Structure 1
Amino acid sequence: MTAFRPTPRLSTATFPNPSSLPRARPKGVAANVVIPGIVVAASVYVVISYIKSQLSHESSTIDKMFAQKNTPAVEESRRRSLLIETEGDPRRTPYNILNWK
């Protein structure tokens, strides 16, 4: 059996200095400003479009549900119980601005 011999330490001279290695740098304004700007704008547009489509879908679903409940008798009962003539319609408050059409 042979005796255990640890491997010799490698000196730092055997590895290249990372700062001395050539780097691939994009050149020009397009690569530094325009492309990231386009990516950000496209991402924002996609997110806003998705949210808008989801709100539209939910709004139409809820409108269909409430259309079944909005009979003249229900509206009259709501008008009496919510005091719409004196207090105003709560569906038209600034808190419900998304519901305004």
Structure 2
Amino acid sequence: MQPSMRMHVALRVPPPTASFSPKSGALASKKVLLPTLAWLGATWAVGLYVSKQLHQKSDTFDRIFAQQNTPEVEEARKRDLSVETYGDPRNSLLNILGWTK
């Protein structure tokens, strides 16, 4: 055989084929997509429920405290909680119920 023919034989080898078909790729994406959507939906529902409950409790506490909010009560609260020294606890990052106000 001539050297040039050997090269042509080597070039006729077909390229390797992909190991998956388009159907299996689409099926795999559905297997990932549905649980992801279910998880996102459940997370959104729980977040909405917790937010609703926090707003409801916050409104209830606001109504109760509005009835007791007199100048004498405010002065006693400032004195007892040392608001001038430590700051107002109503403005603290830990006051979750006051975040929306």
Cα deviation code 1:26-47 (max 9, x no counterpart): x613431111111111111111
Q: Unmatched 5+ residue regions in structure 2?
A: 1-25
Cα deviation code 1:28-68 (max 9, x no counterpart): 13431111111111111111111111111111111111111
Map 1:37-48 → 2, pairs under 5 A:
37-48=36-47
AA partner of residue 58 (structure 1) = K
User: Match of 2:57?
Assistant: 58
Is the CA contact 2:78–2:84 (under 8 Å) kept in the aligned structure 1?
yes
- State the TM-score, normalized to the length of structure 1: 0.62
Q: Which runs of 4+ in 1 moved over 3 A?
A: none
- State the TM-score, normalized to the length of structure 2: 0.62
Map 1:15-54 → 2, pairs under 5 A:
28-54=27-53
Whichever structure has more helix as a proportion of its residues is 2
AA partner of residue 82 (structure 2) = L
Q: Unmatched 5+ residue regions in structure 1?
A: 1-26
Report the aligned-residue RMSD: 1.9
Q: Which whole-Å CA distance do the structure 2 matches of 1:82 and 1:39 have between them? A: 46
Q: Percent identity?
A: 43
Q: Which whole-Å CA distance do the structure 2 matches of 1:52 and 1:86 have between them? A: 32
